Amino acid sequence: MISLSIAFVFSAKSQTILSDFDIDQSNGKVLLAWTIKSGSICNGMQIYRSKDSIDFVLIEDIQGVCGSLSSPVSYTYTDQTPLLNNYNYYKINFGGLEESNILGIEVINILSNSYLLKPNPITGASDLYFENDNQSEVVLKVFDDFGDVIYREETQANKFILDSTSFSSGMYYFSLENKTTRNVINGKAVILNQ
């Protein structure tokens, strides 16, 4: 499985309780970490998740006094079931006193010998994700209907970016070959140019 993370702050808000709030993901799980400033306390914390940064659902309700009058207190929470191959947005409510910024992260989780082409059909640019935990050299070959290679690219990352302007509209077949393991993954993509 590969995991890719792209974290960003979705909205800026003045914090009085929080000194920091970060998220990261690994193996299809999202870790939230935050610190409440010294001298700040709250009565419970509620962790929310959203798929669109607008409609949030409560995923954890932590009861009790949080924070400390004498020193900063750090907390962590792991979301075991984020929405895979999608963006996940998070915020924390501190006992009704304050809400954190909204943070977002894309959780990409690809099974072995598989790929994710997002979006497909391709109308502009599309990301072609695949497993490459060892950062081996991977060769992408795109074929036309006659089986001729019309595009070739190599990377040691875990994705290629396919740009529709490099192709005419139509159905294309591709292969991803790991040069170390000689493993080949075959797939297809639809390109719609306007």
- φ, ψ of residue 165 to 5 degrees: the values are -70, -10
CATH 3.30.300.30 fits 111-191, yes or no: no
* CB atoms near residue 21 (< 10 Å): 20
Summarize pLDDT for 171-193 with one digit per residue, the tens. 999 999 999 999 999 999 999 98
Annotated domain spans of the chain: 2-108, 111-191
3-state secondary structure of 54: coil
pLDDT value of position 194: 73
3-state secondary structure of 164: helix
Q: To which CATH superfamily is domain 2-108 assigned? A: Immunoglobulins (2.60.40.10)
pLDDT value of position 2: 52
pLDDT value of position 10: 44
Fold agreement between 2-108 and 111-191: yes
Region of 165 please: left (phi>0), alpha (psi -120 to 50) or beta: alpha
User: Beta partners for 99?
Assistant: 93
* Secondary structure of 74-86 as H, E, C letters: EEEEEECCCCCCE
Q: How far apart are CA 124 and CA 139, in angstroms?
A: 22
- 172 to each of 50, 55, 193, how far by Cα in Å? 35, 37, 13
Give pLDDT < 50 ranges for the chain: 3, 8-15
